[in-house]
Structure 1
C-alpha cells in the first residue's frame, strides 16, 4: 500500500507531505483546485511520461517521493529480489523521481538509480489506474473478451494461444519463402558453404585481442621507453614521487587531529600513496613480462590481413565476421532443411495443430465461465438504477482462427424486462455505459494483484441513490485493497475512511495544498459538495446523514 508521498515544487505544490491511510481514501475540492495533483505526482513517480510543465513556475526541478509497503512473497518482493533492490527487512519500497525544467528526469528505487522501463514495470505491480473515460473501452470490440479473460484468470491461456499462433504463422512463412527460393537453392548452398569455408580458420581467433596485441608489439620500443620513464619518476629518481609523497604524508599525519578537514586531507593523501604504489608495482610486473617476438608479430599481421581481406570481400567490419558466420550457418541449415520438404511441412502442421488445441481449450474455458460471469455482472449493475439489467456473452466463430482464438466475443445487454439482449454499443445510453464500466472496473479490481487502486472521477454521470451504492461498492472493495478516488459525489465521499481536501491558495505564484479532514471539517465539505456555495443547517444535516449511512451499512 501507499503509505507516504512527498511533493516538492511539483506543479502547484510547493512542499507537500501526506500520510495515506489503508482503506478507502477520497480526494475532493472545488473546480480548479487541482484535484489531479496527487494522481499526476503518483503517475510520474511510477514511470509515466513527465515534462517541464510539472515543475513549479520559477523552479529548476520538481521532486516526488512515494513510499509503499508490501507483503512477503508478493510479486513486488519477487521483482525487488530479481533486481537486487530489496532493503533489509523493512518491507518498504521508496521511489524517487526528479523532473528538471529542461524536461529531463531521473529516478531511484530504494536509493539506487533506475530506468523508466523498470519503474513502469514495478509501477504496474503496485498501482492500477482507472479513469473517467474508461466507459469508452466498452465500445472497443476486443474489450469484453479481454475483460472476461482477466476476471476469470484466463490471461495466461490467452497469451499461450497468441504465442502458438505466431509460431505457426512464422513457420508457415518460412516454409513458403523456402519453396519460393527452391530454384536458387543449390546456388545459395554453394555460396554459403564457400563463405563458411573462408571464415572457418578465423573462428578461434578474437579480432579485438590480436589487434591490441599487434598494436603493442608494433610500438614495443616507444612503449618500453615510456614505461621506464614512468617508473623512474615514481620511485627510482633521487626525488621520486613516492618519496616526496611520503614526506608530505608525514606532515599531514602530524596535523590531522587538529581539524576534520585536515583529517580528510590526510586520508586522501594516504589513498593517493596507495594508488601510486599499486601503479608502480603493476607497471614493474608489466615491464618484466614484455618481450619483442618478431615471429609472433608476423603471425598476427597475417591473421589481421586475413580478417581485413574477408571483411572487404563481404563488405562488413572485421570484428563482425564471426557473428556473420553464425547467420550464414543458420541460413545454410534452413536451406538444407528444404532438402526434405515433407519434414518442413510436417513441422508447420504440428505447430498449426498445437495452436488449434490451445485455442480450443481456451474457447472451452471461456464458454464454461461466461454465463456465470454475465450473471455476476448483471447482479452488480442492477442496484445502480438498472433493476432489469441483463448481460450475456455471445460467441461467434471466426471464419479463420487467429491469435485471439476461435471465436469473437460480444457483450450483449438489455435494461428492459422481456427485451432480448443486444450488442452493448448499440443499445446502452451514455449514462448506462458509465455505470456498467464502473461495475466492470470494480469487479476486475477485486482480482488485481496491485494493492493500490486509483479511480479518477469514474462516478461522473451518476448521482443520488446510485452514487451512494457506488460509494458502498468502493468501500467494500477497500476491505481488501487500498483505494484512492477523486470524486465530485458527496454520497461517494461519505463512505470513505480518509477524506483529503485539495485547496488552492492565491499565493504568488498560486499553489495548491492537500489536507486530511477531521470529522467536523468532513461534514462541512460534504455539505459543500451536496449543497453548493451556500452551506446552511439543511445541507449540514444532510451531510451528517450521509456519514451516518456509512456506519449503519
Structure 2
C-alpha cells in the first residue's frame, strides 16, 4: 500500500506531497492542472524512463520519493535475492540530476531500474490509457482463476513440486553430461587402474628390490670379500678376534680394582663381542651370496616396471604410485556410481511428473469449473458499464507435460463489439475498454486474492450518469479489499471517495511561472468540487444539493 508520494522539481511541480490511506482515494482537477504529471512522477519510482527535460528547475535535482507499507506482500525473499535491506515500511527514491543522470534507491540502497521495475510491479498496478495491464498476463489470468476456485494453496504446492522437478531435471542434465564425459574417460581410467592392479605394488618394495639387485649383481665379489674378511677376523694365524680375546683376558683381572679401567674394559668387551657378531654375519652373508641370473632378471624387470610407472606419473616412490592408484580407483568408482544416481533421479523425475499430472488435473478441473461463471459475471458487469456486447472467453490449451502453472496454457479472449472476432485482450480492447475490463475483473476477485495498489487513470472516460454511478459502486466494492486510487472527471465516481485530492494550478508569486498544487478536500470542499463537476463554477444551488446527495448516498 502506498502511504506517501513526495515530488520535488518535476515538470510544473515545484514541490508537493500526497498522503494516501486505505480504501478509495480520488484525484480530481481541471484539465491540464497536472493530474497526469503526478502519475508520471509515480511511474518514475516504479522504474520508468527518466528525462532531464522534465525538471521544473533545470539547475536543480529532481527527487521523487514513495513510502509504502509492504508487510502483506511477502517480499523478504525478493529483498534477500537482490541484497536489499528489508523493512515493513519501504522507501523508494528516484533522483534525476540536471545532467540527465538518474539514480534509484530502495531503503537508501542504490539499485538498478530492472530491480525497481520488478518491485514496482508488485506494489502498484497502474492502469492508464493504452497501458499493457496485468489482465493481459497469462500467469495473472491463471492466478485469477485459481483464486476464484479457492485453490491458491493447491497451486502453491504444485509450484513447489514443479520447482523440485526442475531441480531434478537440472541434476539429470548435469549427470548425463558427466556420464558422456565419463564414457570418454572411463576406458583410459580403466587402463590405468588395471595397469596398477597388474603391477601389484607393495609399499617399501623398491628399496628391497634395489638392494637385492645390488647383491645379485655383485654376488661373486661379495662372497670373496666376505670370506676374506671372515678369515682375517677368525681363521688366520693372527686372527683379529683371537688377539682381541687374549687382550680381553689380560684386561679382565686388572679392571676389577679400578672403576675407570673397568669402564674402558666394558667398552672394549662390547666392541669385541660386536666384532664377533660381524664376523658371523659376514660368514653367513658370504655363504648366501650366490650368483642367480634368473632371479636378477626378475628383479630388473620388476624395478623397470616401477621406474616406468614413476616416470609416467612424475613421482619418485612406490608410495606415491599407490596414492595415485587410490585416486584413479576413486574416480572410476564415481563414474560407476553415475548409473545408480541417474537411475535414482530418473525414478524421482517419474514420480514427480506423475504427482504433478495428478495435481495439474485437479487444478484444471477447478479452473474450468469457475471459468464460465466468471466470464458471465464479467460480461454482465461490463454491460452495466455501457459495454453491452462485450464477450470474454477463457481459452484452455492443454500441455503434454506439466508446466510451471499446471497442465494448461490459458488465454483470455475478448471482443467489445457485437459479432466481433475474439482476440487477445491487448489486440481487441481500446484503452478505456481495457481499463473497464480490468476494473470488473479485479472487482470479482478482490476478496479472493492479494492485489497491489490499483491506480486507474480516467477509467470513466466517455461515461456518465447511471454508468458512472455503477462504476463508482464497483470501485467502492473493490476498495473494501484493496487500496484504490482513481483519477476521474466523473462526479459520480468522485463522490465515492474515502479521501479526495484536488489538483490545481497556481501562479507562483514573484516569477512568471505556473505551478501545480494539490490539497486534500474536507467535506464542504468536496461538495463544492463535485457540484462544479456537475454544473459550472461557481456551482448552482441545485448542483450543490445534488453533490451532497451523491456523497451521502
Q: 1:115 aligns with which of 102, 105, 111?
A: 111
Counterpart Cα distance in 2 of 1:192 and 1:31: 85
Structure 2 CA distance for aligned equivalents of residues 169 and 503 of structure 1: 59
Distance 2:494 2:184 in 1: 73
1:473 aligns with 2:469: no
Secondary structure of the corresponding residue to residue 441 of structure 2: helix
- Pairwise mapping of residues 147-546 of structure 1 onto structure 2 (< 5 A)? 147-149=144-146, 152=149, 154=152, 156-157=156-157, 159-160=159-160, 163=163, 166-167=166-167, 169-170=169-170, 173-174=173-174, 177=177, 183-186=183-186, 336-338=337-339, 342-343=343-344, 345-378=346-379, 380-385=381-386, 393-399=394-400, 401-411=402-412, 430=430, 433-447=434-448, 449=450, 452-505=453-506, 508-519=512-523, 521-523=525-527, 525-526=529-530, 529=533, 535=537, 541-542=542-543, 544-546=545-547
Tell me the SS of whatever aligns to 2:517: strand
Aligned to 1:251: none
Give me the TM-score of the superposition, normalised by structure 2.
0.58
Q: For residues 79-133 of structure 1, what are the alpha-carbon distances to aligned partners after superposition, in whole Å with 9 as ceiling and x for unaligned? A: 99997665xxxx8555544332331325362xx5453577667656654433333
* Counterparts of 1:512 and 1:131, CA distance in 2: 21
Deviation at 1:486, TM superposition (A): 1.5
How far has the Cα of 1:500 moved from its partner? 1.8
Gap change, CA 1:334 and 1:104, over 3 Å in 2: farther
TM-score w.r.t. structure 1 length? Answer: 0.58
- Aligned residue in 2 for 1:261: none
SS at match of 1:469: helix
1:31 is aligned to 2:31: yes
Paired with 1:474 and 1:2, the residues of 2 have a C-alpha distance of 17
Q: Which residue of 1 aligns with 2:13?
A: 13
Distance 2:79 2:173 in 1: 40
**Which residue of the partner structure matches residue 60 of structure 1?**
60
Distance 1:397 1:53, change over 3 A: same
Q: Which residue of 1 aligns with 2:103?
A: 105
Distance 1:190 1:460 in 2: 78
**Distance in structure 2 (CA, Å) of the matches to 1:191 and 1:486:** 79
**Bigger shift: residues 453-462 or 374-383:** 374-383
Structure 1 regions of 5+ residues with no counterpart? 194-328
In structure 1, the residue corresponding to 2:186 is in which secondary structure?
helix
Q: Compare 346-355 and 74-83 and name the one that shifted more.
A: 74-83
More divergent stretch after superposition (495-504 vs 467-476): 495-504
Asked whether the equivalents of residues 57 and 509 of structure 1 are also in contact (C-alpha less than 8 Å), the reply is no
Q: How far apart in 2 are the matches of 1:39 and 1:331? A: 65
Q: CA deviation at 1:468?
A: 1.8
Give the secondary structure class of the aligned counterpart of 1:406: strand
Structure 1 residues 168 and 384: alpha-carbon distance in aligned structure 2, compared to 1, 3 A threshold: farther
Structure 1 residue 505 displacement after superposition: 4.0
Contact map agreement 1:149 1:158 (CA 8 A) in 2: no
- Residue pairs, 1:112-151, within 5 angstroms: 112-113=108-109, 115=111, 123=120, 126-133=123-130, 144-149=141-146
CA contact (8 A) 1:6 1:65 kept: yes
Q: CA deviation at 1:446?
A: 4.5
Task: Tell me the CA shift for residue 439 of structure 1.
Answer: 0.8
User: SS in structure 1 opposite 2:8?
Assistant: strand
Please say if residues 531 and 546 of structure 2, whose CA atoms lie closer than 8 Å, have aligned partners that are also in contact: no
In 2, Cα distance between equivalents of 1:455 and 1:192: 73
Deviation at 1:376, TM superposition (A): 4.5
Give SS of 1:60's match.
coil
Whether contact under 8 Å (2:144, 2:449) holds in the other structure is no
The Cα of 1:337 is off from its aligned counterpart by 0.7
Contact 1:164–1:355 (8 Å) recurs in 2: no
Note if contact 2:96-2:103 (Cα within 8 Å) is conserved in structure 1.
yes
Determine helix, strand or coil for the equivalent of 2:144.
helix
Return 5+ residue gaps in structure 2 as ranges.
Answer: 194-329
What is the RMSD computed on CA atoms of the aligned residues? 4.8
Deviation sequence 1:453-472 (CA, Å, 0-9, x none): 32233334544322221112
Q: Distance in 2 between matches of 1:54 and 1:30?
A: 21
Report the alpha carbon displacement of residue 387 of structure 1 after superposing the two structures with TM.
6.3
Compared CA separation, residues 332 and 10, structure 1 to 2 (3 A): farther
Q: 1:329-380: CA deviations, max 9, x gaps? A: 9999578514776556435434433443443343244335434544554554
1:465-499 CA-partner distances (Å, limit 9, x unpaired): 22221112112322343322122333222322332
Q: Secondary structure at the match of 1:36?
A: helix
Assess if the C-alpha contact under 8 Å between 1:47 and 1:123 holds in 2: yes
1:369-398 Cα distance to aligned partner (Å, 9 max, x none):
434544554554443235687755453423
Contact 2:3 2:21 in 1 (8 A): yes
Encode CA deviations 1:496-527: one digit per residue, 9 max, x unaligned.
23322222345545432222234555455445
